[in-house]
Every structure is written in structure tokens, then in C-alpha cells.
A = this chain, B = another copy of it.
Amino acid sequence: MITAMQWADLDSSACSVARTLAVVGERWSLLIVRDVFNGIRRFDDLQGHLGIARNVLSMRLATLTDGGILTKVPYREGRQRQRHEYELTQAGRELVPIMLTLMSWGDRHRPGGDGPPAQATHDGCGKRVRMVPVCGAGHVLPSAEAIALEPGPGARTAEPPISGEPSVPAPTPDPDPYGVQASLV
């Protein structure tokens, strides 16, 4: 387990939580991703459903497109001029686990009176889906208390690295995002 002093010595902005929030942490961004995931793909439809100012929606869509979360797909209806709608990229679809953990927390800690407003289900069997913490040895962790954080190879201190020090090679993108093959054998 990392100590508070060790953590305080690490560069806060190097954290992957901070980097992800830089892309999707703005107000509205994840709600736009949620709506596009649910098939609301056109500017006017998003604007109507979210009740968001048009200029703000324009900015958020541009940020998400520039950030590789959304992609624009052209369409044409009848004889109207060509327009475009939005689709999630692969990186955008991989935000779904973040949405599911946000949903679970809200269902537990900010419930409406009528139960969960939406439920994630397995498209194959229809059963409810939850995000579960699993370790590389296949243990299902019962709660956050069993989770420790440790500095990884990319942890940075405030000082620049010593010149000539060998650096850890960049990882190749993992084809198995959840580590399922590695975790659940």
C-alpha cells in the first residue's frame, strides 16, 4: 500500500484518473456519451433530450470528437443537404464501464423513490450486469477496502528523471481491456 507521503511526492497530473477527466470530466460530456450510446445521435435530438444550450453542446461535441471519443458520420434525408450524426469510437465505447460504475453509485447513494431509472443487462442472456473488482489471481474483491494503490512504472515525481536513466518501454495497447483472459482462469 502506498503511503500518504509517497503519494504526495508523485506528480498529481500524471495520474490516469486526471488524464481521463481531462477528456470526459467536463459537465455534460459523459451525458452526451450516454445518449449517443443509447442511440441519440443527432445534434437537435441531443439538444432536446439534454436541455443543454446549443453553443455548449457544440463545444462539447467538438471536444469529444477531437479527443477521439465520437466520430462524425454523414447522412442525408430526402433532398436535404448532407448533415452528420455522431457515433462512439472504440475508445468511446470503452467509456461504458465508467458509466456503469457511475450508475451503480447513483442507484445506491442517490436513489430516486422508484428504483433505478435504467439497468444494464447482458445482451446475450438478459441478466443484470455489474462491474466487479477482480484481481489477477481470480479473487473477487468484496469491497474497496481490499484495494490498494501502488505507484506504477509511469509514476513521476516533481523532479525530472535523471538523464540517461533507462525508461520503461511504453506498453502496447492491451487487446483484452478487462484482463479477462488473465484474471478469470
What CA separation (Å) do A17 and B30 show in the bound complex?
8
Contact of B130 with A183 in the complex, beta carbons under 8 Å = yes
Interface centre among A35, A96, A144 (most CB of B within 10 A): A144
Does chain B have a CB within 8 A of A177? Answer: yes
Contact of B21 with A117 in the complex, beta carbons under 8 Å = no
What CA separation (Å) do A161 and B108 show in the bound complex?
23
Q: In the assembled complex, how far is the CB of residue A23 from the closest CB belonging to chain B, in whole angstroms?
A: 7
Interface-located stretch among A58-66, A75-83, A133-141: A133-141
Interface centre among A68, A117, A119, A143 (most CB of B within 10 A): A117
Which A72-102 residues have C-beta < 8 A from chain B? Answer: 91, 93-102
Does chain B have a CB within 8 A of A145? Answer: yes
Contact of A129 with B135 in the complex, beta carbons under 8 Å = yes
Residues in B whose Cβ lies below 8 Å from that of A23: 109-110
Question: Which of B21, B27, B137, B168 is A31 in contact with, Cβ under 8 Å?
Answer: B21
Contact of A151 with B20 in the complex, beta carbons under 8 Å = no
Contact of A96 with B129 in the complex, beta carbons under 8 Å = no
Contacts A12-B50, A17-B30, A20-B110 hold; do A154 and B115 have CB atoms under 8 A apart? Answer: yes
Question: Which of B7, B96, B178 is A39 in contact with, Cβ under 8 Å?
Answer: B7
Which residue in chain B gives the minimum CB-CB distance to A99?
A: B17
What CA separation (Å) do A50 and B12 show in the bound complex?
6
Residues in B whose Cβ lies below 8 Å from that of A4: 38-41, 45
Closest 5 A/B residue pairs (Cβ): A4-B39, A16-B106, A127-B136, A115-B153, A122-B135
Chain A interfacial positions (CB closer than 8 Å to B): 1-4, 7-8, 10-12, 14-23, 25-27, 30-31, 34-35, 37-41, 45, 48-51, 68, 91, 93-125, 127-137, 139-156, 167-171, 173-174, 177-180, 183-184
